[in-house]
Amino acid sequence: MEFRINKTLTIALTLSVGLLAGSFAGADDDYREVREGSRHSRSQAAAKTPESALYKQECSSCHHLYQSWLLPARSWQAIIDDSDKHFGDDLALDDATRKELLNYLKANSSEKTSTKWAQKITSSSEGMTPKRIMDVPWIKKEHREVGANVFKRAGIGSASNCVACHTKAVEGNYDEDFIKIPRK
Ligand code: HEC
Ligand code: HEC
């Protein structure tokens, strides 16, 4: 008897949670969810990269922390070498900090990461040193349907702002199931 009551309660609870979630999704008017045109796997697990407190401290105050597997080691080398003119900013890093950051970034670059996404980044950027993730040919191709004007929307700003559209980018999850493009 008790079991049955609990079961009914559980079902009722599950239903109301579902309805609640539904109403939140409905209220989400400023976003268009990208679901149509789904081509492939939802099985791509987010890459788990070891964290670095130093990397977080030095490289996430102006933008979100880009996962180290998003670029090949050559790119990280160039970015750290040019850190005194980093997209218009002087990051003012001392030698020891530069060295430690580079050790971390190279040890966990796209070449050192075995997930499908990282492998595509490595192979498609062979012979190049992209300083922007969107300059990686495979990444560029994946975004071919996103217009340049879309990246400039106030809610996005630029293609560098991955988190504006990839709601789980901070976790390294770029799966198409978690994309919401701000409408303005
Ligand atoms: C003082 C602010 C600031 C700090 C600190 C900073 N960045 Fe940046 N970073 C920028 C700006 C500005 C851009 C260009 C963003 C844009 O075009 O919208 C950028 C872009 C980037 C990009 C290219 C993003 C893309 O579109 O692919 C990478 C990679 C990057 N930063 C890595 C780093 C690393 C590594 C560090 C730490 C050593 C760091 N950043 C620290 C300001 C900063
Ligand atoms: C304007 C919104 C937007 C921004 C900003 C954006 N993306 Fe995307 N991204 C998309 C869309 C749309 C797709 C294509 C989804 C599909 O497969 O239909 C995509 C696809 C991807 C994929 C392929 C996913 C897969 O399942 O194959 C990766 C990886 C990715 N983006 C990474 C990034 C990174 C890293 C950044 C930042 C440097 C970024 N994106 C910025 C919208 C965006």
Per-residue pLDDT of the chain (184 residues; tens, 9 = 90+): 444 444 444 444 444 444 444 334 433 333 444 443 344 444 355 556 789 999 999 999 999 999 999 999 999 999 999 999 999 999 999 999 999 999 999 999 999 999 999 999 999 999 999 999 999 999 999 999 999 999 999 999 999 999 999 999 999 999 999 999 999 9
Give the pLDDT of residue 49: 75
Cβ-contact 133, 71 below 8 angstroms? yes
Distance 106 CA to ligand 1 centre (A): 17
Give the pLDDT of residue 50: 84
Say if residue 22 is in the same domain as residue 101: no
Give the pLDDT of residue 162: 98
Give the pLDDT of residue 119: 97
To test ligand 1's pocket by mutation, which of 49, 52, 87 has the most ligand atoms within 8 angstroms of CB? 87
Give the pLDDT of residue 74: 98
Say if residue 176 is in the same domain as residue 92: yes
Number of domains the chain contains: 2
Distance 11 CA to ligand 2 centre (A): 37
Say if residue 148 is in the same domain as residue 76: yes
Distance 5 CA to ligand 2 centre (A): 46
CA-159 nearest atom, ligand 2:
5
Distance 143 CA to ligand 2 centre (A): 6
Name the amino acid, one letter, at 101.
L
Give the pLDDT of residue 17: 41
Domain range for residue 169?
34-182
Place of tokens 């001392």: 94
Cβ-contact 134, 159 below 8 angstroms? yes
Give the pLDDT of residue 7: 45
Say if residue 96 is in the same domain as residue 114: yes
Say if residue 23 is in the same domain as residue 45: no
Instruction: Compute the distance between CA of residue 162 and CA of residue 48 in angstroms, rounded to an integer.
Output: 18
Say if residue 144 is in the same domain as residue 170: yes
Give the pLDDT of residue 183: 94
**Residues with Cβ < 8 Å from 60, sequence gap 6 or more?**
none
Closest alpha carbon to 142 in 121, 113, 115: 121
